[in-house]
Amino acid sequence: MAIDFELSEGSKLAQAHYHDIALKQMRPISRKYDLREHDLPVEWVDYWWNEGRFGTKGRSEKLTEGFITICLQAEELCWGDAGLYLRMPTPALGGSAVSSAGTKEQKQRFMSKFREEGGHPIWGAMAITEPQAGSDAAAIETTADFDPDTEEWILNGTKIFCTAGEGASTADGGFVVVWATIDKSAGRGGIKSFVVMANTPGMELIGCEKKLGIRASDTATLRFDNCRVPKENLLGSAEVRKKDPTKTGDKGFKGAMATFDASRPIVAAMATGVGRAALDFLKEELENQGVAIRYDAPPRELTAIERDVIEMEAELQAARLLTWRAAWMMNTGKRNNLEASMAKAKAGLAVTKITQKAVQILGPVGYSKKLLVEKWMRDAKINDIYEGTQQINQLIVARRILDYPSAMLR
């Protein structure tokens, strides 16, 4: 079997296109929206909605080469600014959920507005985490009760740390995918995901989190108080399987969990972008100071800085290769649950190490707000937390390699 790590011409064009956007549209306003945490980055949102999402004339067709391109886009745009990337008007995680668990009709119904020209910017989001349920997603307490008279689901509960939650819950046409249980006695088997359209009565935006990093991103708390959604907004099937749903092919929880097979490689690519931003900058600075990295020198002759930089590059490359493998498997329809978690765990750790090292090597100026390096260090850490923490992704890797069910290795 041939192994080919060359990017196609189309992917290279896309990469260059997104790099240009990162450099010209994102970097100039990066510090501004880091400081103005809860302000809408209007110029960026408008640019993305009216221009960025369509690509440039003549290139647009080539910008859609599937999942690899999505990861290239994530890396390049997060090289620009990870917070602004998360604030882009896109279906985001909500879209991954609809794609993974929704029917053809649901995909058309919820996603088409994101493809239409004109209109106002809209967002998608996914709300799983609750005050008492994060890593253990099966412990969620938000409920969905069916009202047979109106054929609606009634949602009740509170969701926290919902990325893009402000935009998705308030800009008409956007949506939040909400995980809720329709039968608590069924455990995981009772958990389903529901699409709640923006401004649905009963969904209330409580506020946005103040954060260490990715401060341009709106991380919302949402309350659901007798929030009614049509029967057709349940993604997948309403059937509840009480016996080990992970083994029986239950579409609800399994479908919802499949969202992560798509989203984890994207988060890994985002992490790689932030890490590369720091490493590129560090190398430029070292070069300006006359420090050349001797890649071919024998290890015993390397200076401490050379060894650090080479190690940082190796970490970044390893993260990227794992990411591309998981993305390629997604593209080709192969099951990538193990590979997606491997990529996410590796990239989340790599980016925290790389950015910290960059600050350290640059010394006091690296710690200063005159440069963006300290910001990248703050933006890095989230990649080790959301979409499954470092520990949880390692747990998934271990389970898959050892072939243990979740009940046996937790």
Q: How far apart are CB 84 and ligand FAD at their closest, in Å?
A: 14
**Which residue ranges make up the site for ligand FAD (CB under 6 A)?**
93, 125-129, 134-135, 161-163, 211, 219, 382, 385-386, 389, 391-392, 395, 410
Q: In 106-174, which ranges are E strands?
A: 124-127, 143-147, 152-163
Q: How far apart are CA 136 and CA 68, in angstroms?
A: 29
- Which of 212, 365 has the CB closer to ligand FAD? 212
C-beta nearest to ligand FAD: residue? 134
* Cα radius of gyration rounded to whole Å, the chain: 22
- Which of 24, 38 has the CB closer to ligand FAD? 38
Q: How far apart are CB 277 and ligand FAD at their closest, in Å?
A: 18
- Which of 221, 336 has the CB closer to ligand FAD? 221
Residues with active-site annotation: 387
Q: How far apart are CB 261 and ligand FAD at their closest, in Å?
A: 16
Q: How far apart are CB 155 and ligand FAD at their closest, in Å?
A: 15
- Which of 251, 381 has the CB closer to ligand FAD? 381
- Which of 208, 371 has the CB closer to ligand FAD? 208
Q: How far apart are CB 167 and ligand FAD at their closest, in Å?
A: 12
Q: How far apart are CB 172 and ligand FAD at their closest, in Å?
A: 20
Residues 6+ apart with CB under 8 A from 400: 337, 338, 341
- Which of 286, 385 has the CB closer to ligand FAD? 385
Backbone angles phi, psi at 103, to 5 degrees: -85, 175
Q: How far apart are CB 332 and ligand FAD at their closest, in Å?
A: 27
- Which of 34, 152 has the CB closer to ligand FAD? 34
